[in-house]
Amino acid sequence: MEKESMSEKSFDQITIQDISHQANIGRRTIYDYYMDKFDLLDRLIEEHINELRKLCESAAELSFVEGNLIWFEYFERNYSFFSTMLASKGASAFRNHFLEFVIEELEGEVDVTEGKNQGLSKDLILKFFGAAIVEIVEAWITNGLSEPTQVVAEQVRILLDRNL
């Protein structure tokens, strides 16, 4: 019986042995750098968040809402990692890191001193839209949304433009 490939397993089912076999390195080598697969997962999530941060910085002339297509294209390019992770216990670790990052990126876009959000709690607005974006990304990656990348990104931009 042939072993399942790692892309067919959820993170919960993947072992350090699977990782070492796939990477063609010894288990001991992995343990030299990581405490366990959850430590490895945290580092991978951190790397992906840092990549998203760099993408945002490179598109600094674009507003948050204009630049979100870049995010969706990044998720599309790294679909295998995100879909594997979101089908497992790793999802909460990713969601927490990603939500923090989204709120950090949204912060400069929220104005509660004037306009439609005048007098509202900035914290509440950030958590509301941060959670919405995280949920949309998760649904899109796990096939809860079947629209193409361009359509999802454009509609998220429209919703944010309307409300921020």
Alpha helices in the chain (DSSP H): 16-23, 27-33, 37-58, 68-77, 79-86, 90-106, 122-141, 149-163
Q: How many C-alpha atoms does 13 have within 13 Å on its Cβ side?
A: 11
Of 65-69, 80-84, 91-95, 103-107, the poorest mean pLDDT is in 65-69
100: which 2 tokens? 């923090």
Better pLDDT: 33 or 51: 51
Above 50 in pLDDT, residue 81? Answer: yes
With 80 as the cut, is the pLDDT of residue 12 above it? no
pTM, whole model, 2 decimals? 0.78
Residue 1 pLDDT class (50, 70, 90 cuts) = very low
Is 15 contained in some domain? Answer: no
7 lies in a domain? no
Range of the domain at 119: 38-163
* Total number of domains in the chain: 1
